[in-house]
Structure 1
Amino acid sequence: MTASEAVRPQRRVGTFTLGAVLVAAGCGMLASLLWPSFEPGWLLNASPLILVALGVETLLSARSGGKVKYDWLGMILCFLLVGAAMVFYAAAWAYENGEFINVRNCSRCADETSFRMDYEFFNGFDSHTLRLEAGDALVGRIDTRNGWLEVEISDEDGNTLLEGAPLNGDQRVEVPKTGDYTILVHGRKTSGKFTFARVPAELPEEALSAETEETA
């Protein structure tokens, strides 16, 4: 063993991974400030790489013949890194699958007769409730450019009239009884637009004839 090897200080396990995480987080924050269109969500999605880097560092240190120091401070550092990775993973999962609306460049219109959205990016859930009469029809159009969109239409009793609508195309639901009908949309990293509107039931021929005579 040479004199230089004898005096070489040992490095605690986890310090390299900690440095890499700090560099990546700082670069991501800087990019989000300099480029507003930058999507920082991919940093959360990359959080499992913390565990990968820590595991690689541990394996390489074992191979290098004990040049890495294992003490209680090193163990605490590893524990903090593993905990941070789990927290970031949970945040990434909630970001990707949470029941909230996450949209960009979206125009949304929901009134007494229709529910419409036009979006550049839509990830999450949204809903609107319409009051419909028996004999009405609820017609819709879905135009999806990427990702996918599902639509569920149910009445106030929880009965489903439409579920798992296709990504694109026309939809039509006949309204069997008067009540409140909820349109639930679930977007998964999709861009496009959709519209659902109420089409009132036609008046009976007798009432239509009587109304025509009164108008004349």
Structure 2
Amino acid sequence: MKTRRVGSLTCGALLIIFGVLFMVHMFVPALKYEFIIKFWPVILIALGVEMLLSCRNKEEGIKLKYDGAAIFLTILLGFFAMGMGVLQYCVENFPVCI
């Protein structure tokens, strides 16, 4: 019986998506951090979709194992990415005079 880890696919896909969005911002400043940060619910939606689709696989005789580390890492990295975006926004718009 095959074992499928639920959460790994979502973790990888979201790392790529948010990484690309932040990298695009470096070259296209018109893509604002506020716009990227508003996509945080995509993390929860993607995890939910993967879990629902994995239930279908369970009926086909595939054993499921939730990858708690990947799910935790996805959420943690999402918050880290949002925090870095907020930090850079603050540095760009509220310069500290020395």
TM-score relative to the length of structure 1: 0.33
- Shift in Å at residue 18 of structure 1? 0.8
The 1:35/1:12 distance shift into structure 2, 3 A limit, reads same
Q: Which amino acid aligns with 1:10?
A: T
Q: Which amino acid aligns with 2:68?
A: M
Equivalent positions of 1:1-216 (< 5 A) are: 10-65=3-58, 67=62, 69-70=64-65, 74-85=67-78, 87=79, 91=83
The 1:68/1:51 distance shift into structure 2, 3 A limit, reads farther
Q: Is this contact kept in 2: 1:28–1:40, CA < 8 A?
A: no
Question: Aligned residue pairs: how many?
Answer: 84
Q: Deviations over 1:136-183 (max 9, x none)?
A: xxxxxxxxxxxxxxxxxxxxxxxxxxxxxxxxxxxxxxxxxxxxxxxx
Unpaired stretches in structure 2, ≥5 consecutive residues: 94-98
From the two aligned structures, give the one with the greater strand fraction: 1
Task: Tell me the secondary structure at the aligned position of residue 46 of structure 1.
Answer: coil
Q: State the distance in 2 between where 1:35 and 1:68 align.
A: 44
Q: State the distance in 2 between where 1:26 and 1:82 align.
A: 14
The 1:23/1:64 distance shift into structure 2, 3 A limit, reads same
Q: Is this contact kept in 2: 1:13–1:58, CA < 8 A?
A: yes
Point out the structure with max Rg over C-alpha. Answer: 1
Q: State the distance in 2 between where 1:68 and 1:33 align.
A: 42
Q: State the distance in 2 between where 1:55 and 1:43 align.
A: 20
Q: Which amino acid aligns with 1:53?
A: A
The 1:82/1:31 distance shift into structure 2, 3 A limit, reads closer
Q: Is this contact kept in 2: 1:50–1:82, CA < 8 A?
A: yes
TM-score relative to the length of structure 2: 0.64
RMSD: 2.8
Q: State the distance in 1 between where 2:50 and 2:37 align.
A: 21
The 1:82/1:32 distance shift into structure 2, 3 A limit, reads closer
- Shift in Å at residue 37 of structure 1? 2.2
Q: Deviations over 1:19-73 (max 9, x none)?
A: 22112112112211221222132221111110111011011101222536315xx
Unpaired stretches in structure 1, ≥5 consecutive residues: 1-5, 104-216
